[in-house]
């Protein structure tokens, strides 16, 4: 089961070359088992035929304002009733202008006017058209109506110009759709999440690091944001794209991470340390590349500060502090020791020897230990693991009375 399984999406397309991207989105949505119904303006059909959307979605494509559904209800009323979200993509300047005036002169504008479901508008057009005060004023009106606008990207446009106006990326839109469909139980929470490895330099060519890919921390950041939290992600060097809409602070060494975390820790209501911070760093950083003359070579290391333990010392009563423990043995015992010694509210212990848990895989299996009890979660995706950890954090915030006061 996917996050979008069974979600009914009404995809309204208008006349821009970016309709072909909407066709790709339809395909992505169907892959995630969403039920997609398409609605096309006459101009949209100049770029891509209804047959393309029908084939990709396995569903009817609507364009006729005066069609009657089998139950005798006009299409524009039924379409807005029968879906969970209305996604207008691409939305041209013309369509945006129609929607801003409350016009109902074609099926798309009539459906938007009749809609009581969340409406998401994704503009795509020439940059001068997009930045024109008329379009900007219209978009402000649409925000006032409660519609969600996904700002277009900047870059080279099909018209040959460069600037704002490119249809936003699918990842951004997908995250917004998911947040509209997810209960906002972390609204008002400021959550700091660390992710990925650190790099401890030896010389200009070499460093000490570990196998963390950042997947666990990034999944927590995405899911927390979806549930309404304001997330700051402090991340070591990883190969993952920055999650859309999340403030990312990029660091390299454990010392960089410590500085970045301490800068934001005081304002955070929740801190989750999923990063794999190096315990030691080279005592000396060589300015020149070290040569391989010696047969045996040893590196002297100094201990890094334990950031989590320091956060535990400074923790305010109303803050929730969550650690991870990467263990290869004695999981329960080690988890309890770290929970106690670092003054944590919750710790997620994961096994780093398993092929499907811990470092650099898409799944995890964690033992969650708090001050009162422990739960062993089954093997699941890192996103689902993140949801369970965040459920536990909601419980802890409730216990501290921190959700009621928001």
Rounded CA-CA distance 196/274 in Å is: 8
Smallest separation, CB 179 to ligand PMT (Å): 22
Residue 279 engages ligand PMT in binding (rule: CB under 6 A): yes
Residue 75 lies near ligand PMT (rule: CB under 6 A): no
390 touches ligand PMT (CB under 6 A): no
CA angle 224–230–236, rounded 5-degree value: 75
Q: Which is nearer to ligand PMT, 11 or 386 (CB)?
A: 386
Pick the binder of ligand PMT from 15, 118, 123, 323 (CB under 6 A): 323
Point out which span in 23-31, 129-137, 181-189, 320-328 binds ligand PMT (CB under 6 A).
320-328
Q: How far is the CB of 254 from ligand PMT (least distance, A)?
A: 5
Is position 35 an interface residue for ligand PMT (rule: CB under 6 A)? no
Q: Give min distance, CB of 385 to ligand PMT, in A.
A: 9
Residue closer to ligand PMT by CB (options 135, 210) is 210
Q: Using the rule CB under 6 A, give the single segment among 52-60, 76-84, 355-363, 367-375 that binds ligand PMT.
A: 355-363
According to the binding rule CB under 6 A, does residue 325 interact with ligand PMT? yes
Q: Total residues at the site for ligand PMT (CB under 6 A)? A: 27
Name which of residues 176 to 215 contact ligand PMT (CB under 6 A).
Answer: 196, 212-215
Query: How many C-beta neighbours within 10 Å does residue 343 have?
Result: 15
Minimum distance of ligand PMT from residue 286's CB (angstroms): 22
Q: Does 274 bind ligand PMT (CB under 6 A)?
A: yes
Residue 324 in the binding site for ligand PMT (CB under 6 A):
yes
Name the one range near ligand PMT by CB under 6 A: 78-86, 133-141, 227-235, 275-283. Answer: 275-283
The smaller minimum CB distance to ligand PMT, of residues 80 and 304, is found at: 304
Active site includes 159?
Answer: yes
CB closer to ligand PMT, 41 vs 304: 304
Query: CA 61 to CA 36: how far, in whole Å?
Result: 10
The answer to the question of residue 275 lying near ligand PMT (CB under 6 A) is yes
Residue 360 engages ligand PMT in binding (rule: CB under 6 A): yes
Instruction: Please pick, from the candidates 359, 384, 392, 397, the single residue that binds ligand PMT as defined by CB under 6 A.
Output: 359
177: left (phi over 0), alpha (psi -120 to 50) or beta: alpha
Using the rule CB under 6 A, is 276 a contact of ligand PMT?
A: yes
Of the pair 326, 393, the CB lying nearest ligand PMT is at 326
Q: How far apart are CA 246 and CA 23, in angstroms?
A: 27
Decide: is 358 part of the binding site for ligand PMT (CB under 6 A).
Answer: yes
Q: Of the residues 159, 264, 290, 352, which is catalytic?
A: 159
Binding site for ligand PMT (CB under 6 A): 196, 212-216, 254, 273-277, 279, 304, 306-308, 323-326, 338, 350, 352, 358-360
Residues serving a catalytic function are: 159
């Amino acid at each position: 089961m996917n996050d979008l399984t069974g979600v009914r999406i009404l995809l309204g397309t208008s006349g821009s070359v970016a309709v072909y991207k909407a066709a790709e989105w339809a395909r992505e949505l169907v892959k995630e088992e969403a039920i997609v119904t398409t609605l096309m303006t006459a101009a949209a059909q100049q770029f891509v035929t209804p047959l393309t959307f029908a084939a990709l979605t396995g569903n009817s494509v609507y364009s006729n304002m005066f069609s009657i559904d089998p139950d005798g209800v006009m299409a524009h009323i039924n379409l807005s009733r029968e879906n969970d979200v209305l996604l207008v993509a691409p939305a041209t300047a013309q369509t945006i202008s129609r929607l801003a005036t409350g016009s109902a002169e074609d099926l798309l504008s009539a459906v938007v006017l009749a809609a009581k479901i969340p409406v998401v508008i994704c503009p795509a057009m020439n940059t001068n058209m997009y930045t024109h005060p008329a379009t900007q004023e219209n978009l402000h009106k649409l925000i006032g109506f409660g519609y969600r606008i996904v700002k277009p990207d900047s870059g080279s446009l099909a018209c040959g110009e460069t600037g704002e106006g490119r249809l936003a990326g699918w990842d951004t839109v997908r995250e917004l759709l998911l947040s509209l469909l997810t209960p906002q139980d972390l609204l008002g929470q400021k959550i700091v999440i660390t992710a990925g490895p650190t790099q401890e330099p030896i010389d200009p060519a070499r460093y000490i690091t570990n196998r963390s890919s950042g997947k666990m921390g990034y999944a927590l950041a995405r899911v927390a944001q979806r549930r309404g939290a304001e997330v700051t992600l402090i991340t070591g060097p990883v190969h993952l794209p920055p999650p859309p809409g999340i403030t990312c602070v990029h660091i390299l060494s454990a010392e960089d991470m410590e500085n970045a975390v301490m800068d934001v820790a005081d304002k955070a209501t929740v801190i989750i340390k999923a990063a794999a911070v190096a315990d030691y760093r080279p005592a000396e950083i060589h300015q020149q590349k070290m040569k391989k003359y010696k047969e045996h070579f040893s590196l002297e290391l100094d201990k890094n500060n334990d950031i989590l333990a320091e956060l535990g010392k400074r923790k305010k009563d109303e803050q929730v502090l969550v650690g991870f423990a990467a263990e290869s043995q004695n999981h329960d015992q080690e988890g309890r020791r770290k929970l106690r010694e670092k003054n944590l509210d919750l710790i997620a212990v994961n096994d780093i020897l398993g092929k499907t848990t811990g470092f650099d895989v898409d799944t995890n299996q964690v033992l969650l230990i708090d001050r009162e009890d422990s739960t062993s979660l089954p093997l699941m995706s890192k996103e689902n693991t993140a949801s369970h950890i965040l459920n536990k954090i909601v419980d802890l915030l409730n216990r501290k009375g921190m959700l009621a006061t928001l």
